[in-house]
Structure 1
Amino acid sequence: MCGRYVSTRSPQELAPLFHVSDPPPEETLAPSWNVAPTDNVWAVLERAPRASNSDSASANDAGVRRELRPLRWGLVPSWAKDVKIGSRMINARVETVHEKPAYRRAFTRRRCLLPADGFYEWEQIKDPGTEKTRKQPYFIHPEDDQLMALAGLYEYWRDPAVKHDDDPNAWLLTCTIITTEATDAAGRVHPRMPLALTPDHYDTWLDPTHQDPHDLRALLGQPAGGHLDARPVSTMVNNVRNNNPHLVDEASS
């Protein structure tokens, strides 16, 4: 699974990397070395402009727009009665994402990329000379320190307590990260890992008009290329209140 990750790039850095159509948003998120479920995170997505029935032709001409916007991590399905379900839906397994009721509609229409510097996983290890075990956290990231584009889905949830649709509090946008079998260094720590896409697959993955499940699943057949490095880090990362650059420093033995 992926329960924590690192995201430190600014909107000004991310927008050109993902060829975002609109200017970077005025809203900012602080760099985070300990992104946790229910946090707001940067997401790259594409949406078709809304139009009235009389203006459908001009909407099609305008085409989709690529946006960079903050979403809450932990997908809340549109039919959910309580947003709390999102804290249990931070990951979607690539093997079943296209068929699970909570994800299958978003899989065909609402896909996104979640920029990350790397992610954390925990390994159960034995303390030398004792029978006790403990969980050792590792920071897993590309060896070349390139940005990862994690495959994700997003969804809209309408808050029934808010009367009007045009109220900014009426809609909650949430997301989940798709996971796959772990490879490379990540596989030595944990059997699952977030699935990162290569740049040549960004356009097809984000395009909301591309809705063939078979073709979309083909994009997720292999994680993005490149080698991953896994280094042990301090157990300070276990506490979500801790958030600073030293969390990714290698732990002293």
Structure 2
Amino acid sequence: MCGRYSLAKTKTELEERFGAEMLESFAPRYNIAPSQLVPVITNESPRGFSHFYWGITPAFAKNKPVANKLINARAETVTEKVTFSNAFKRNRCLVPADGFFEWKKIGKKTKVPYRFVLHGESLFSMAGIWEEYETEQGETAHTFLILTTSPNAISAEIHDRMPVILKKENEAKWLAMDTPERELLEMLQPYPDEEMTKYTVSPMVNQVANDSAFVIRKTLPMDQFGNYTLFG
């Protein structure tokens, strides 16, 4: 799955990379979590960043709050499940990021956080789908989720799923409404592992409130007793 990611870049860097306009108030994000309002680029507005909540509320659960647990959709079944199929056909988006986090189990109680990045920690986009729903107050809100796929060699050491990272040349096709479904599905593959790397980060990333540059810095992993070790 993908349950946490980072977007530790400036407004200018995002605008230059994606050719879309960002809000003046944007600030880098280091520890993005479900239910938060974050920037995406949608098929309906590809020249500007929209701000949607991460966590889709299904159509059959209208007037419910953003669902923290419904944050990902499996690429292998996205066209089969009614919860996601309509959004996949009509409402696709790019989810900008420069890294994502996963946790490796060490023993029974300890999990070591890792950050996964492209070489150079460059910006990339994850494949997303979005939807519109009505809040309990009668207002219109927008939510999104991230598609996941089987892991590449880098990710498989830590988790059995990874987010779908789109090739830059496929981003416009992902948003285009006339792209055949067959081509869309072909994009939902594990990202080449030779273009990625991972490293351990501080357990401070475990707390959503910790949204500072410190949580994306490389650190030594810690064992169950809090001692620094060299296991990977």
TM bucket (normalised to shorter chain) is: 0.7 to 0.9
Q: Is the 8 A contact 1:29 1:41 kept in 2?
A: no
Match of residue 209 from structure 2? 241
Give the 3-state SS of the residue equivalent to 1:88 in structure 2.
Answer: coil
Superposed counterparts of 1:53-64, under 5 Å: none
Superposed counterparts of 1:52-201, under 5 Å: 65-84=46-65, 86-126=67-107, 132-159=108-135, 161-162=137-138, 170-201=139-170
Match of residue 232 from structure 1? 200
Structure 1: 5+ residue runs without aligned partners?
Answer: 48-63, 127-131, 163-169
Shift of 1:116: 0.7
Shift of 1:234: 1.4
Q: Is the 8 A contact 1:117 1:147 kept in 2?
A: yes
Shift of 1:160: 5.3
Q: Distance in 2 between matches of 1:33 and 1:242?
A: 8
Q: Distance in 2 between matches of 1:83 and 1:7?
A: 28
Q: Is the 8 A contact 1:76 1:85 kept in 2?
A: yes
Shift of 1:196: 0.5
RMSD: 2.0
Amino acid in the other structure paired with 1:175:
F
Amino acid in the other structure paired with 2:32:
V
Q: Is the 8 A contact 2:150 2:190 kept in 1?
A: no
Task: Indicate the percent of aligned positions where both proteins have the same amino acid.
Answer: 33
Q: Is the 8 A contact 2:164 2:189 kept in 1?
A: no
Match of residue 3 from structure 1? 3
Shift of 1:226: 4.7
Q: Is the 8 A contact 2:126 2:147 kept in 1?
A: yes
Q: Distance in 1 between matches of 2:213 and 2:46?
A: 34
TM-score (norm 1): 0.80
Q: Is the 8 A contact 1:156 1:171 kept in 2?
A: yes
Q: Distance in 2 between matches of 1:249 and 1:103?
A: 35
Give the 3-state SS of the residue equivalent to 2:48 in structure 1.
Answer: strand
Shift of 1:9: 2.3
How many positions carry a matched residue from both structures?
A: 221
Q: Is the 8 A contact 2:151 2:160 kept in 1?
A: yes
> Could you report, residue by residue, the CA deviation over 1:172-213 in whole angstroms, capped at 9, with x for unpaired residues?
011000011111322111111111001111111011343x32
Per the alignment, do residues 75 and 11 of structure 1 end up closer, same or farther by CA in structure 2, a change over 3 Å counting?
farther
TM-score (norm 2): 0.87
Q: Distance in 1 between matches of 2:81 and 2:191?
A: 21
Runs of 4+ in structure 1 over 4 Å off: none
Structure 2: 5+ residue runs without aligned partners?
Answer: 221-227
Amino acid in the other structure paired with 2:115:
F
Match of residue 219 from structure 1? 187
Q: Is the 8 A contact 1:38 1:74 kept in 2?
A: yes
Per the alignment, do residues 243 and 221 of structure 1 end up closer, same or farther by CA in structure 2, a change over 3 Å counting?
closer
